Amino acid sequence: MPTELEELVEFLHSPQHAVKQIALDNLVQFSPANANPKLFAYDNYRPIKDLKEIAQRRPETTTTIMVGHAVTILANLCDDTEMRRLITEDDAFIQFVASSIIDLTNQNADLFCILLANMAKLDYITRVFEMDILAISKDDAFTSAKIMDCLMDCFVKGADRSLNVYANYDYLAYFFADISRFKHGRDYFVTEQEYDNVVPISKLLVFTEKYDSKVRREGVASTIKNSLFDTEKHMKLLTDEAINLLPYILLPIAGSEELDEEEMFNLPEELQLLPADKKREPLSDIIAVHLESLLLLCVTREVRELLREKSVYPLIRELHKVTKDELVAELCDRLVQMLMRDEAPTAEEVDAMNSDESDDDEDRIVEVA
């Protein structure tokens, strides 16, 4: 005999619209991880299939509220490993979720952003790079048919609800952060795209100081960090004027502390002569992510020397003085060790020194003679 709640879950499979609506209204509360998500594993996980079917119903056969409830439940159920797999490992559903975000009339677009972000915990989500948007979602606002390009445009152009009055697309920042953990994702963010001839990461940098959206700042900071795991791109990201990565990592960790004149004028131009009321990133967790990005940049000697030239050490020194967060303090210590240590001589310098020693020996031989 099924329990009352199991009977309620069975109603998701009902052919009657009103019955499904009642079931959804009552089941949302059981989907969070701290409630009773295992309820949706009933009957060999059939409720997952039912919820996906409801989410994909055409507007004339359902309501915005019903779709919103179904998407909310699916997003919550992604906390469970097996349910996340059942939700995500479905090419048609990935394409539908992404295209629903790109549909500029969709009132549930932000909920679909949360669902997509939660699905991105699995590397299966990288299939999105090979997908085009559904024809019903094509809009003049987009110049590329590729889903990933359109999602980037939604995030960058739609932050002020100018694309969709119902959505600000903030949670795409978490989607970008998760998908950039995978090589295909990292490659996308640091590679110039054909449709606009821009390196995607450069379009995200401005949001490192969007202080009215913790979600954007946190997601973008993590996307930057994940994109730095491939060291061969570091110098391009730092020296290409069209990208100019370093200031956008340093600005959030810089405060109003005064540096001496030499230190200040060695900083990137964007950090010189900051106003006296300059505020540092208020969340220590986000500061820590930026410090981890700097540590990743310190992997190569070439970049370490560039960071020294750009007065990164004085900023870290001042941050270390004022932070009360243990992790931030630890990361500052590690950065100081990387930036202030003596470098081993290069192969060219060793050869030059050996050559000098040989010349000295020849001189001494002459003197003895």
Q: What is the mean pLDDT of the segment spanning 200-216?
A: 97
> Kind and range of the H or E element at 347?
helix 347-368
Residue 341's pLDDT band (boundaries 50, 70, 90)?
confident
- Is the same domain home to 224 and 266? no
In a domain, 368, yes or no: no
4 lies in the same domain as 85: yes
pLDDT at 357: 56
SS3 label, residue 1: coil
Of 44-58, 183-197, 336-350, least confident by mean pLDDT is 336-350
Confidence (pTM): 0.91
pLDDT at 230: 92
Kindly state whether residues 326 and 243 are assigned to the same domain.
yes
Q: What is the pLDDT of residue 362?
A: 52
State pLDDT tens for residues 20-37: 999 999 999 999 988 899
pLDDT higher for 265 or 1? 265
201 found inside a domain? yes
Pair of tokens at residue 342: 């003596």
The residue-averaged pLDDT of 332-348 equals 83
- Domain's final residue, options 89, 104, 139: 89
Q: What is the DSSP track for 255-270?
A: -S----HHHHHHS-GG
53-62: b or e for each residue (b if 16 or more CB lie within 10 Å)? ebbeeeeeeb
- pLDDT band at residue 2, thresholds of 50, 70 and 90? confident
Q: What is the pLDDT, as a whole number, of residue 31?
A: 95
pLDDT at 324 over 70: yes
pLDDT value for 58: 80
Contact 237, 249 (CB under 8 A): no
How much of the chain is in helix, strand and coil states, percent to nearest 5?
A: 70, 0, 30
Grouping H, G, I as helix, E, B as strand and the rest as coil, residue 198 is strand
- State the pLDDT confidence band at 369, using cuts at 50, 70 and 90: very low
Q: Give the pLDDT of residue 137.
A: 46
If asked whether residues 76 and 140 sit together in one domain, one would say no
Shared domain for 202 and 251, answered yes or no, is: no
Q: What is the pLDDT of residue 215?
A: 98
Residues contacting 214, CB < 8 A, separation 6+: 283, 286
For 355, the 3-state DSSP assignment is helix
Average pLDDT value for the chain: 91
- Higher pLDDT: 5 or 181? It is 181
| Residues 108-151 pLDDT 10s | 999 999 999 999 999 999 999 999 987 644 456 888 999 999 99
Its sign, for the CA torsion 204, 209, 211, 212, is negative
The whole-angstrom separation of Cα 230 and Cα 239 is: 16
Asked whether residue 185 is assigned to any structural domain, the reply reads: yes
- Verify that 218 and 262 share a domain, yes or no: no
142 & 178 share domain: yes
Quote the tokens at residue 156. Answer: 């960058």
Q: Choose one of 229, 251, 266: the last residue of a domain.
A: 229
- The residue that leads in pLDDT, 341 or 284, is 284
**310 and 281 part of one domain:** yes
- Asked if residue 76 and residue 137 are part of one domain, the reply reads no
Q: What's the structural domain count of the chain?
A: 3
The answer to whether residue 170 is domain-embedded is: yes
Higher pLDDT, 298 or 351: 298
Tokens of 11: 């109603």
Is residue 272 a part of any domain in this protein?
yes
Provide the domain limits for residue 307: 230-342
At 141 the pLDDT is: 81
Q: Evaluate whether residue 101 is within a structural domain.
A: no
Indicate whether 314 and 275 sit together in one domain. Answer: yes
pLDDT at 257: 85
Average pLDDT over residues 161-177: 97
Per-residue confidence (pLDDT) for residue 258, from 0 to 100: 85
Same domain, 309 and 262: yes
* 232-289 pLDDT tens trace: 999 999 999 999 999 999 999 999 888 999 999 999 999 998 898 999 999 999 999 9
Q: Mean pLDDT across the stretch 62-83?
A: 95
Specify if 7 maps to a domain: yes
pLDDT in tens, 347-361: 554 555 555 555 555
> Which residue among 168, 194, 229 closes a domain?
229
| pLDDT greater at residue 364 or residue 266 | 266
Same structural domain, 239 and 321: yes
pLDDT of res. 325: 97
Q: What HEC string does 169-184 produce? A: CCCHHHHHHHHCCCHH
Residue with the bigger pLDDT between 357 and 164: it is 164
